[in-house]
Every structure is written in structure tokens, then in C-alpha cells.
Structure 1
Amino acid sequence: NDLPICTIRYLTASVQSEMLSAELEAVFIPVLYSLALIVGLLGNGLVLAVLCQLRRSWSITDTFILHLLVADTLLLFTLPFWAAEIAQGWSFGTPLCKLMGAIFKVNFYCGIFLLTCISLDRYLSIVHAVQMYSRGKSWKVHASCLGVWLICLLLSIPDWIFLQQLEDERSKTVKCTYNYLAYKTSVKDWQEASRWLYHIVGFIIPSIIMVFCYSSILLRLFRGSQGFKKQRAIRVILVLVLAFFICWTPYNITLIVDTLHANRTLNETCESTIILELLLSATAALGYIHCCLNPILYAFVGGRFRHHLLQMLKSINCIKCVCVCVFAITSARAKILLP
């Protein structure tokens, strides 16, 4: 007699969780994604302008920042499609579903891998005084970045294969989702494989590398003399590490719990189902904000970028002032010459 009651409670909890999650997403997520798109494009645009101004004196880190900028910008361009899907369902067709899903996955992986490359370069340079790339051979840096892009493209193959526009029978909405039954494959095996690939390759390994590299850098800096430049370098490193983990750790922990929950490793209850659905929506939105923070963290925190940005903005204001003055003088002369 308890089995039907438990089943009914579970189904009711699932429906309630989906309704609460849908209401949260339909109101909050599209607004957040719109703001992220505007702020991200503005920040990446300013970084690109500064990099163009400094193109003759690019450092190795600047090259990584350029590729990171491209990855973040392409990732931002997918946000309107996901916001539209949340608001009214996916109405762009299966080909665009595959394209947007693959672009999102490629640039998501690429952003994390490039951050890891930056940490490795800084670790070797500061701790071991080893330069992986020489200034005279910048093609090696671009070759490394292209290798990262290629690996990320290979990791997106499941998205090209399984993503489809499908109708959700429970919510009666059209979604861009994975259809593992399309090629008569095991749904459970592919879901578990894709989840653990994301957990291990997309978060755990890069996190371990970044923690090791930046911890070693901090220990090396603390052992030396505490000059102003070193104190500023320590502050920048702490900001970078904290921002990465603050944005992505909550989502990845929630996703790991959800994976264990789906595999019956953890006990499945009505309350846990509701909480996981809400946490996944909230923590995913927090993770997407990281692509807006990258321009600030990897460019404007540095003194050189901030200096050139202020110079560029001042020059723009001067041009505006000159234009206003010329316009005012011309108007005044015109009024004098009028009869």
C-alpha cells in the first residue's frame, strides 16, 4: 500500500519542481542572460580595443587573452538562444540546435582550458624561471591555442550527433536536448559518460592544475621579499582563483550530486528532487556570469591594461571635446554672419 503513495508523492514532487524551476527560469534567467550579453560584449570589446592598441608589444599572456576573448564572445552569442528557449521553447530547428550546442560546448571547454594554460605559463615562469614560449616565436603560442581549440572541437562531437529539437511530453514544450535513442544506443551509458566527461575534463582536472600552480606561485612569492609588485601579483592571483571557483564550483558540485542522484547512488527523495532542480538553475546562471568577469579579471586588474584603457578613453573624450568646440564655434560664426 505504501508503494503507490510513494510513487504519487514522487510524481507530484517532480511536477512541482519542474513548475517552480520553469517559473524561476522564465522570469530571472532571460533577464540575467541579456545583462550578461551586454556587459560581456562591452568588456570584451574594450579588451580587444586595448589589445589592438598594444599589438606591437604583445606578451605571451596577451595572446592567451585574445583567444580567451574569442571563446567568451562566441559563448556570449549563444545566450540569447538559450534565453529564448527558456521563455518560449526552442523554435530554431535541429540544425541550429546542434550548432548552438556545439558552439557553447567548444567555447566553454576552451575558456577553462585557456585559463589552465595561463596558470601553467605563470607557474613555470615564476616558480621555475622557465619560459615555455619565446617572444620571437609567437607562433608557438598560437599553435598551442589552436591545439586547445581542436581538442575542444573533438569534445563537442556528442553534441553534433545527439542534440535535436524535441517536444517534452510532460511540459508540452519544445526543447533543444539530447536524443540518445536516435541511434539505438544505451541512454543511461551515454548520459553517464557525458556527465563524467564534463565533471573530470571540464572541471576537476583544470581545477587541480590551477590550484597547484597558483598555490606554488603564492608560496614562492611569500618566501621572497615582499615588494609592491609582488604584493599586487599575489592579490591578482587570489582574485583570479577565487572568481573561478566562486562561479563554477557551486554548479559542478550540484551537478555531481545530481549525477549520483540519477544513478541511484544517493537516496532519491521528494525534497531532494525539488532542491536539485532549483539549485541547478541558480548555479548554472552563476557559472555563465564568469565569461563576463574574464575581461575584468585578466585584463583590467593588470596595471598595464588599465593604464592604456584610461589613455584610450581620455583620447576619445578629447576628440569629443574638440568636436563640440568646433561645432560651437561654427554655429556662433554662422549666427554672426546671418542678417
Structure 2
Amino acid sequence: MMETPNTTPDVYEDYSLMTGRTVQCNTIAINNFCQHFLPPFYYVIFIASVLGNGVVLLVLYKFEKLNTVTNIFLMNLVASNLIFTLTLPFQAVHHSDQWIFGEALCKLVTGADYLGFYSSILFLTLMTFDRYLAVVHCVVANKRRRSCYAVVLSAVVWIISVLASLQPFIHFTVEEYPMEGLVCEDSSDAQWRVFSLYKQLVLFFILPLTVFVYCYFRITLTVLAMRMVGKHRTVWLIFIIVLMFFAFWSPYNIIMMINENQDPRQCNSSLLYAQYVTSNIARLYFCINPVLYTFLGRKFQNHVRGVLVSQVPCLSDRISVSASSRTLQKTG
């Protein structure tokens, strides 16, 4: 979400990447907050995301079969997050100074931000639905869950995400202002911004959250009914996954709705602070969600321990690794 200072020293104008809504505030504090807090925050998220998603890819490559349905979805999710992550250094520079990369990169970087953001949500939703089929409808799912099924659905997700991300290529442009210089901003009208907001709210929050709650509720009931070994851990992990999506992503959507319905001629500084904080909490989640999604599983944790032991042999006495991971590592 790109926010930049306005044309006078004591006025702050917010350019929201997701809504393009403009709000003027007579305060320097918000400007200073964005310039000093957001760039280092983006760099930290960038490093954490690259390292975390890199570990996920490394473990998949060394220990897992890449052509399984789950791993195909997971690799696409990692790709979504890396696309999203690669926009952060550009936005860090934008916040600390001005947009120095030209209009073509303004459209491309903003479009990549949308693309990574939307596709990440859709792949999480798809993986949730696939897990639901594998657990609740296992007989039917075992017949239909093939690699071609995962490839086709992944392609559909990318097509939908690309179509939903075309707005920046049409409406975003670079404008120059006396105080802050060049700004990459949304030039669309109010009606289009309202449409974009509700599109995001319905397709990329309400719908995924509904799928999450329904699928994991049915998965939990099935796991409990089957009296599976370790069922309590499974139910707990399910609860964590749903809770984290809601906790990281819902505050931003709520703030956006409040912001959209307030008088545009009035300034609410607290609301703007809340917008920046919640939008970056959402960024943090969508950059590292593959790590959260996979590290909660025991098998993945064991694979990571296997990587650590292989790279640092002296840890073998302190870290236990299952025989399966050692075997896979040797054959890989």
C-alpha cells in the first residue's frame, strides 16, 4: 500500500494502493511515521520472506516429490509470495524519498503487488479446499487428485489473479508535486475505486474466509469422528491456520471499509495510522504464509531439522531426525 506526503509541509495525503482513496490531514507526524518506519519495515519483511520461502523451496526440492498435488499448490503459493515480496524494495525507496523508477515500473511494480497479493489468497483458498477433499471426501479425491488437476487449477488461479490485477496498468501513473517530488499514484475516479474496494472485500476476503471456516470445520469433525492418532494436534493446527488468516487480514479490510464511508473532507489521523499498521500486518502475513503453512506440520519440521543436520553435522547429537528424512536426503 503506497502512501506519500502531500504538497505542503503540514499536510499529509494518503495514496492507498488498494483503494486509491485520497485523504488530507494537517499533520507532519504521519508523514514522519511513514518515512522512518515503513522503509526499514519493508526491508525486514523482504529479507524474512526471501529466506523463509527459500527454505520452503529447499525442503521441497530435497525431501519431497514436486509433482504431487499439495506440493504443486505450495510451489505456486511460494511463487505468489515472492512476486509480492519483490515489490517491497521499490516501495521502501518510494516512502523514504520519491518514485524514481519511471512510469513503466510504477505500473509494473503496482501490478506485481496486486498479482502476488491476490494469487496468494487464492492459492491458500485452493489448498484449503484440496485438503478438505482429501480428508472429508477421500475416496472420490484419491481418484481425481492428480498432478494435471493441480496444474489446471493453478493456471486458473493465475488467470483470475492477472485479470484482477490489470487496474494498475490502466489507472496508475507518476505525478510530480512541489514538496515530495515524483509519486506513483492511482488516477482512477471515485466510482472505480469503490468497485475495486468491494471486489477485494468480497472475492479476496469474505469468500476465502467462508471457504476456510467451512472446510476446516468439516475437516475437524471428520478427524474427531475417525479417532485419528494425534487428532488433537491436527485440530489445533487447523484452528491456528484459520485464526491467523482472520487476525492478519480482517483488520485491514475493516479499516478500509470505515475509511471509505467517512467524509473525504475530514481527516481522522488515528484512522490513517490504523490503515498503515493493518496494511503492513497484512503484508507480513502474505509474505511469510507458506512458512507458517508448512512449518506447522511435523513432517516439514523434521525435514528442516534434516537440512540443518546435513549442513551442520555437529548438531546431529542435539537434533533428532527421522530415518525417512535421512534416506530421502541421501537419495536426493
What amino acid is aligned across from residue 85 of structure 1 in structure 2? Answer: H
Aligned to 2:75: 66
Cα distance per residue 1:47-93 (max 9 Å; x no partner): 11111113437542221111000111111110011111111011111
Aligned to 1:77: 86
SS at match of 2:312: helix
Two-structure CA RMSD over aligned residues (Å): 2.5
Aligned to 1:126: 135
State how far apart, in whole Å, the 2-side matches of 1:301 and 1:293 are. Answer: 13
Q: Where is the helix percentage greater, Structure 1 or Structure 2? A: 1
State how far apart, in whole Å, the 1-side matches of 2:38 and 2:272 are. Answer: 14
Asked if 1:204 is matched to 2:206, the reply is yes
Q: CA deviation at 1:214?
A: 1.4
Q: 1:297 aligns with which of 288, 292, 297?
A: 292
State how far apart, in whole Å, the 2-side matches of 1:59 and 1:135 are. Answer: 12
Asked if 1:236 is matched to 2:244, the reply is no
Cα distance per residue 1:6-36 (max 9 Å; x no partner): xxxxx8994335x322211111111111111
State how far apart, in whole Å, the 2-side matches of 1:234 and 1:300 are. Answer: 16
State how far apart, in whole Å, the 2-side matches of 1:48 and 1:168 are. Answer: 43
Q: 2:280 aligns with which of 275, 285, 292?
A: 285
Q: CA deviation at 1:125?
A: 2.1
Aligned to 1:260: 261
Give the direction of change, closer, same or farther, for the CA distance of 1:210–1:269 in structure 2 (3 Å limit). same
Cα distance per residue 1:211-249 (max 9 Å; x no partner): 121122223333442631x22211221111111111111
Q: CA deviation at 1:45?
A: 0.7
State how far apart, in whole Å, the 2-side matches of 1:320 and 1:302 are. Answer: 21
Correspondences of 1:42-57 after superposition (within 5 Å): 42-56=51-65
Correspondences of 1:328-339 after superposition (within 5 Å): none
Count of matched residue pairs: 296
What amino acid is aligned across from residue 138 of structure 1 in structure 2? Answer: S
Q: CA deviation at 1:145?
A: 0.6
SS at match of 1:56: coil
Structure 1 or 2, whichever has the larger Rg, is 1
Cα distance per residue 1:275-334 (max 9 Å; x no partner): 22111111111111113431332212111111112112211113999xxxxxxxxxxxxx
SS at match of 2:107: helix
Aligned to 1:337: none
State how far apart, in whole Å, the 2-side matches of 1:133 and 1:179 are. Answer: 49
SS at match of 1:90: coil
What amino acid is aligned across from residue 242 of structure 2 in structure 1? Answer: V
State how far apart, in whole Å, the 1-side matches of 2:252 and 2:42 are. Answer: 16
Asked if 1:41 is matched to 2:50, the reply is yes
Asked if 1:176 is matched to 2:171, the reply is no
State how far apart, in whole Å, the 2-side matches of 1:48 and 1:124 are. Answer: 25
Aligned to 1:89: 98
Q: CA deviation at 1:147?
A: 0.9
Give the direction of change, closer, same or farther, for the CA distance of 1:72–1:192 in structure 2 (3 Å limit). same
State how far apart, in whole Å, the 2-side matches of 1:83 and 1:310 are. Answer: 34
Unaligned runs of 5+ in 1: 1-10, 181-186, 322-339
Asked if 1:276 is matched to 2:277, the reply is no
Consecutive aligned runs of 4 or more in structure 1 exceeding 4 Å deviation = 130-136
Q: CA deviation at 1:131?
A: 4.6
SS at match of 2:65: helix
Aligned to 2:26: 16
Cα distance per residue 1:194-213 (max 9 Å; x no partner): 11111111211111111121
Aligned to 1:111: 120
Cα distance per residue 1:177-208 (max 9 Å; x no partner): 1112xxxxxx1211111111111112111111
What amino acid is aligned across from residue 257 of structure 1 in structure 2? Answer: I
Unaligned runs of 5+ in 2: 1-10, 13-22, 317-332
Q: 2:190 aligns with which of 180, 188, 191?
A: 188
State how far apart, in whole Å, the 2-side matches of 1:157 and 1:121 are. Answer: 28
Q: 1:227 aligns with which of 215, 226, 229?
A: 229
Aligned to 2:36: 27
State how far apart, in whole Å, the 2-side matches of 1:198 and 1:167 are. Answer: 29
State how far apart, in whole Å, the 1-side matches of 2:246 and 2:101 are. Answer: 34
Asked if 1:313 is matched to 2:308, the reply is yes
TM-score (norm 1): 0.80
